[in-house]
Chain A
């Protein structure tokens, strides 16, 4: 493949700028070949490198007395006492879910589940934060309904088969999502504190083992796709969306956890975005070692795959691990028991480089640290957030009799039972409170006798009107939801869904939201232990409202939950916190403003 000429057009197709290409040449001390160009392009994509957001993400509080692992690993980890920890994170799968709703959403669930069990934790809960376009819109309604149905079915398909309960979430409809739905998936797992695993390679000479599904041509350039705006041509990108196999994932879960318990595994990482490329160079970089692999040994599902294709494939349900030399057989025995294909594809080296061979010839050689951690970082210019004119809205006379049923029937407010009934929210018999019984889901931890509560919230209309205050409100809403079930909020994860960061007014939304979130997370003492940034959520130049979504977990004693319904007649009804301000502006961003006044 080194015969492919590296032209400015080819560089542009890989979404690399001239300056970025210059940096690649500087790192390598030569021009990259085609395979190397592909490898850099996915690792330096917005999705993998956080190049537009990293400067600002540093402002988030990430430490706390219960934090065992903050951002930078596959998931954050919190100590819940009794010798146990929880691992949790949220991920977006927005772009794939628009192109192919069922598989896009299903593989979104699959990706975050692997992030959790890669850490040694067994997933015990999933929640979803969903945003779709208007269901009743004359022009886009039919498509929006098809996307909604596909996404819900995809989540159900994957989670139900895998055997993790989907216990809560949110689902909101807004015109700004007509061409760009959001699918954010939160997952949480539990394990003993000493059983936590890290995605770090070490020990020159240790074997690098590939396990799980075979590598195919699916999902090539998924990470880059997720880092670009949508255009009319995006439909042609359907082959970029991967196909999920939840049964394979279940086998991987059981086999990986069993293999971890042999003590023969040094480090392990799932192959998610940017597949084999990401898992090899990140594990090498974290451990300060090199990794050499031979692609001929990678189990392949298609014939004649090039080095470029194998390295960039995002085929699902694959894991990469480093085992202790001499103890490989213990690991293989576990994978054989679960009927999984495992192959030794390479070795840990001492030279800090990712060396990729095919047919014995070196096809790529790149220093791991520069590839994984030295992507260009941009402090992109930002102005002030773009927002609608906030004039005092004309408040028409209130007809409460008519407004109340209209509000209760609004798509955002009404019961989402028809969605969550498609999810098995009880499997593993830990769900003390599932969807709509309480404001936060409650899962008992059988091993410790304590319980974990979790809430997932965002409000894009508040954030559009004021990203800073809107992000604070999302944190506060999560904490309120946890408080209503009696849980003390302890840690958070975030999913930042925004438009094109190269537009200064969008960048301003991102900066303000992160700063607002930082303030609120400090106030509530809920450090951010990890998360995800999804930018370029635009279709044909129309950006979504800024949509930061917060997932916050709280700790509590195990007890029968206090549920939402009024229990019997004659009880007092008390409003805590008063009726709010009297300023008309306080109605901005409310459901009342949207449904009744037809304003923001």
Chain B
């Protein structure tokens, strides 16, 4: 399987996602530059964490206009797997590939901390875990409070599109939401960092669950 890692100029978890996919998970990976109009022959795309274009405006507000996002939209429309982590989640929301918004943490401060995440559903990103299983992964964000109007949240829940919830909500996210799926379930955004939890030396390898699930989904496809 081949993962494509999108590189915006201000991405700073791109190397980590690449390392996790290739070294920790043992699959192929390649970088895709932000002004590329094509994703090549990748089987899945990762939008990594960071500050895509500085994010001095709303996080991801500029990234959604980048050339590569056209290709990502097309890829998602065709059923390709798209994973947005942290800034990648913010970009997917800004780009309209996922509903809702990510706003300042309730405490108004950046938080870097390991958190417990409860797996809420079966999906191409979670199938390697049991529903109800608690995974340990770090968060590192200042604007990770998931927000949506009641209709959006009700719809997400009715369609079983909440992928992860925080066990102990760190940032004020509504209904403890940490990760969500698109309607077609092939696009997922999550604030916690699975790529930082792929090596026992780093304290947890629970993040491999996400990569393993994606591999299984890609093989099925």
Residues of A within 8 A of B (CB): 153, 156, 160-163, 245-248, 250-251, 254, 338-339, 420-429, 431-432, 444, 446, 558, 560
Known interface pairs A245-B54, A429-B16; A421-B10 also in contact (CB < 8 Å): no
Known interface pairs A161-B54, A163-B12; A446-B19 also in contact (CB < 8 Å): yes
Contacts of A426 in B (CB 8 A): 112, 138, 140, 193, 196, 202
A429: nearest chain-B partner, CB-CB: B16
CB-based contact B201/A156 at 8 Å: no
Selected contact of A425 from candidates B13, B54, B55, B112, CB within 8 Å: B112
Contacts of B10 in A (CB 8 A): 161, 247, 250-251
Selected contact of B195 from candidates A251, A338, A424, A429, CB within 8 Å: A429
| Min CB–CB distance B2 → chain A (angstroms) | 21
Known interface pairs A156-B110, A247-B56, A558-B201; A427-B19 also in contact (CB < 8 Å): no
Task: Confirm or deny: B80 has a beta carbon within 8 angstroms of a beta carbon on chain A.
Answer: no
Residues of B within 8 A of A (CB): 9-10, 12-13, 15-16, 19-20, 49-51, 53-56, 109-113, 138, 140, 142, 193, 195-196, 199-202
Per the bound structure, the CA–CA distance linking A253 and B43 in Å amounts to 30
Contacts of B110 in A (CB 8 A): 156, 160, 421-424
Contacts of B200 in A (CB 8 A): 560
| Min CB–CB distance B139 → chain A (angstroms) | 10
Known interface pairs A424-B140, A426-B140; A560-B111 also in contact (CB < 8 Å): no
Most chain B CB atoms below 10 A, which of A156, A421, A423, A427 = A427
| Min CB–CB distance B142 → chain A (angstroms) | 7
User: A-B contact count, CB below 8 Å?
Assistant: 80
| Min CB–CB distance B209 → chain A (angstroms) | 17
Contacts of B138 in A (CB 8 A): 426
Known interface pairs A444-B201, A446-B19; A427-B140 also in contact (CB < 8 Å): yes
Contacts of B55 in A (CB 8 A): 161, 247
| Min CB–CB distance A419 → chain B (angstroms) | 10
| Min CB–CB distance A468 → chain B (angstroms) | 39
| Min CB–CB distance A34 → chain B (angstroms) | 37
CB-based contact B19/A429 at 8 Å: yes
CB-based contact A421/B111 at 8 Å: yes
Known interface pairs A425-B112, A427-B140; A432-B201 also in contact (CB < 8 Å): yes
Per the bound structure, the CA–CA distance linking A250 and B112 in Å amounts to 20
Question: Would you list 5 pairs from A and B whose C-beta atoms are within 8 A, ordered by A residue?
Answer: A247-B10, A247-B54, A247-B55, A426-B196, A427-B13
B52: nearest chain-A partner, CB-CB: A247
| Min CB–CB distance B86 → chain A (angstroms) | 10
Most chain B CB atoms below 10 A, which of A160, A424, A428 = A424
Contacts of A251 in B (CB 8 A): 9-10
CB-based contact B195/A247 at 8 Å: no
List of 7 A-B pairs having minimum Cβ-Cβ separation, nearest first: A163-B12, A247-B54, A424-B140, A161-B51, A429-B16, A422-B110, A424-B112
CB-based contact B202/A422 at 8 Å: no
- Contacts A250-B9, A422-B110, A426-B202 supplied; 6 other A-B pairs, CB < 8 Å: A161-B12, A250-B10, A421-B109, A423-B112, A428-B16, A558-B201
A433: nearest chain-B partner, CB-CB: B203
Contacts of A427 in B (CB 8 A): 12-13, 16, 49, 140
CB-based contact B9/A422 at 8 Å: no
CB-based contact A429/B112 at 8 Å: no
CB-based contact A560/B113 at 8 Å: no
Contacts of A163 in B (CB 8 A): 12-13, 50
| Min CB–CB distance B198 → chain A (angstroms) | 8
| Min CB–CB distance A557 → chain B (angstroms) | 12
CB-based contact B196/A247 at 8 Å: no
Contacts of A431 in B (CB 8 A): 202
Per the bound structure, the CA–CA distance linking A245 and B49 in Å amounts to 18
Contacts of A420 in B (CB 8 A): 112
CB-based contact B142/A160 at 8 Å: yes
B15: nearest chain-A partner, CB-CB: A428
Contacts of A339 in B (CB 8 A): 9
Per the bound structure, the CA–CA distance linking A431 and B197 in Å amounts to 12
Contacts of B51 in A (CB 8 A): 161, 246-247, 250
Contacts of B140 in A (CB 8 A): 160, 424, 426-427
Contacts of B54 in A (CB 8 A): 161, 245-248
CB-based contact A422/B50 at 8 Å: no
Per the bound structure, the CA–CA distance linking A444 and B193 in Å amounts to 19
Selected contact of B9 from candidates A246, A254, A432, A558, CB within 8 Å: A254
Selected contact of B109 from candidates A254, A422, A432, A558, CB within 8 Å: A422
Selected contact of A429 from candidates B9, B20, B53, B113, CB within 8 Å: B20
| Min CB–CB distance B54 → chain A (angstroms) | 3
Contacts of A424 in B (CB 8 A): 110, 112, 140
| Min CB–CB distance B220 → chain A (angstroms) | 29
CB-based contact A162/B112 at 8 Å: no
Contacts of B109 in A (CB 8 A): 153, 156, 421-422
A160: nearest chain-B partner, CB-CB: B110
B111: nearest chain-A partner, CB-CB: A421
Per the bound structure, the CA–CA distance linking A488 and B3 in Å amounts to 39
| Min CB–CB distance B61 → chain A (angstroms) | 14
B35: nearest chain-A partner, CB-CB: A337
| Min CB–CB distance B53 → chain A (angstroms) | 7
CB-based contact B199/A429 at 8 Å: yes
A423: nearest chain-B partner, CB-CB: B112
Contacts of B199 in A (CB 8 A): 429
Contacts of A422 in B (CB 8 A): 109-112
| Min CB–CB distance A120 → chain B (angstroms) | 17
Contacts of B50 in A (CB 8 A): 163
A431: nearest chain-B partner, CB-CB: B202
CB-based contact B9/A338 at 8 Å: yes
Contacts of A428 in B (CB 8 A): 12, 15-16
| Min CB–CB distance B51 → chain A (angstroms) | 5
Per the bound structure, the CA–CA distance linking A33 and B158 in Å amounts to 76
Per the bound structure, the CA–CA distance linking A246 and B9 in Å amounts to 12
CB-based contact B16/A247 at 8 Å: no
CB-based contact A247/B15 at 8 Å: no
Contacts of A560 in B (CB 8 A): 200-201
Known interface pairs A426-B196, A429-B195; A250-B12 also in contact (CB < 8 Å): yes
B112: nearest chain-A partner, CB-CB: A424
Per the bound structure, the CA–CA distance linking A276 and B15 in Å amounts to 33
B199: nearest chain-A partner, CB-CB: A429
Per the bound structure, the CA–CA distance linking A424 and B109 in Å amounts to 12
Contacts of B112 in A (CB 8 A): 420-426
Per the bound structure, the CA–CA distance linking A247 and B53 in Å amounts to 7
Most chain B CB atoms below 10 A, which of A153, A420, A422, A429 = A429
Contacts of B15 in A (CB 8 A): 428
A451: nearest chain-B partner, CB-CB: B201
Contacts of A558 in B (CB 8 A): 201
Most chain B CB atoms below 10 A, which of A161, A254, A338 = A161
Most chain B CB atoms below 10 A, which of A153, A160, A420, A426 = A426
| Min CB–CB distance B104 → chain A (angstroms) | 13
Known interface pairs A160-B140, A161-B51; A429-B202 also in contact (CB < 8 Å): yes
B14: nearest chain-A partner, CB-CB: A163
Per the bound structure, the CA–CA distance linking A425 and B16 in Å amounts to 14
| Min CB–CB distance A54 → chain B (angstroms) | 38
| Min CB–CB distance A446 → chain B (angstroms) | 7
